[in-house]
Amino acid sequence: MEENDIYNLPIEPVEKWLVPENINLPVVAGPCSAENFEQMISVAEGLSKIPNVVAFRCGLWKPRTRPGGFEGVGEVAFPWIKEIKERFGLKVCVEVATPKHVEQCLKAGVDFFWIGARTTGNPFCINDLCEAVKGTNIPVLIKNPIGPDLKLWIGTVERFYNAGCKRIVGVHRGFISYQSGIYRNDPCWEALFEMQREFPTLPLFCDPSHITGDRKLLREVSQKALDFNFSGLMLEVHPDPDRAFTDKNQQITPPELKALLDKLAIKEIESNVISGFLNVQKSS
């Protein structure tokens, strides 16, 4: 495949498999980590009342930067996920980083996967994951790698596409920066704008939780993402954020998520990322 062909991959638009017609801002929301049954049911119940929430996210295996922290409950959470799907009719999305995670999640009826920033940056891991998903056409949300290397991110998209996954979403979670600023991970909007322009078939969601690392900044970053015509948001939500086992400073409660979404200025429903991009061009 020529390099330029990559940017025209016929990836299935999210409207075909994830986003109902009446939703103009789809949100994937849920706790950073699954902690226990009560926490999971409580947050899922709250989220099920917010129409924008098109899927529930939860981390079962947490990739911690340094050892010693909470590394997730693992497969213990599968019965909780089953109950959430049955009781609230939510689709559930889990981070996978090894072929074993993939195998376990497929068996447990997890609806789709996300690939974490630490995994996207490792082509060896991605090749193993692609081997494990072959033949399933399971949707995959792919976070950008930790460092600002768009080619590495695109390479991961391409590898999953070649493995038969046609339902792919890129998730922008910001890039690590050596200099400390107000954000946990630098959003680098210009690069992402360029990415939309060059790769218009890839739907892009924004993850303001991991960009900001701070719940006070979620609203401004979410608005910025909408202004840049991102197709949706991924946000971390917890029933009691201050007591969360991971990423507590950036999580909000379900009512806080509702209030945040109510305050965002959302544009008309866009048929796809390309038309959104053209609108930005016209108005600038």
Least spacing, CB of residue 25 vs Mn ion, in Å: 21
Considering the complex, what minimum distance in angstroms separates the CB of residue 45 from Mn ion? 21
CB of 143 to ligand PEP, least distance (A): 4
Q: How far apart are CA 266 and CA 254, in angstroms?
A: 19
Site mask for Mn ion (CB under 5 A), range 23-62, x = bound? ---------x------------------------------
Buried b (16+ CB within 10 A) or exposed e, 109-143: ebbbbbbbbbbbbeeebbebbbebbeeeebbbbbb
State yes or no: residue 59 binds ligand PEP (CB under 6 A): yes
CB of 10 to ligand PEP, least distance (A): 27
Distance CA 92, CA 163 (A): 22
Residue 204: its H or E element = strand 204-206
Instruction: Pick the piece of the chain touching ligand PEP (CB under 6 A) from 3-11, 100-108, 110-118, 125-133.
Output: 110-118
Q: How far apart are CA 97 and CA 263, in angstroms?
A: 35
Q: Does 143 bind ligand PEP (CB under 6 A)?
A: yes
Does residue 19 sit in helix, strand or coil?
coil
Residue 101 binding ligand PEP, by CB under 6 A = no
Interacting residue ranges for ligand PEP, rule: CB under 6 A: 32, 59, 63, 116-118, 143, 173, 210
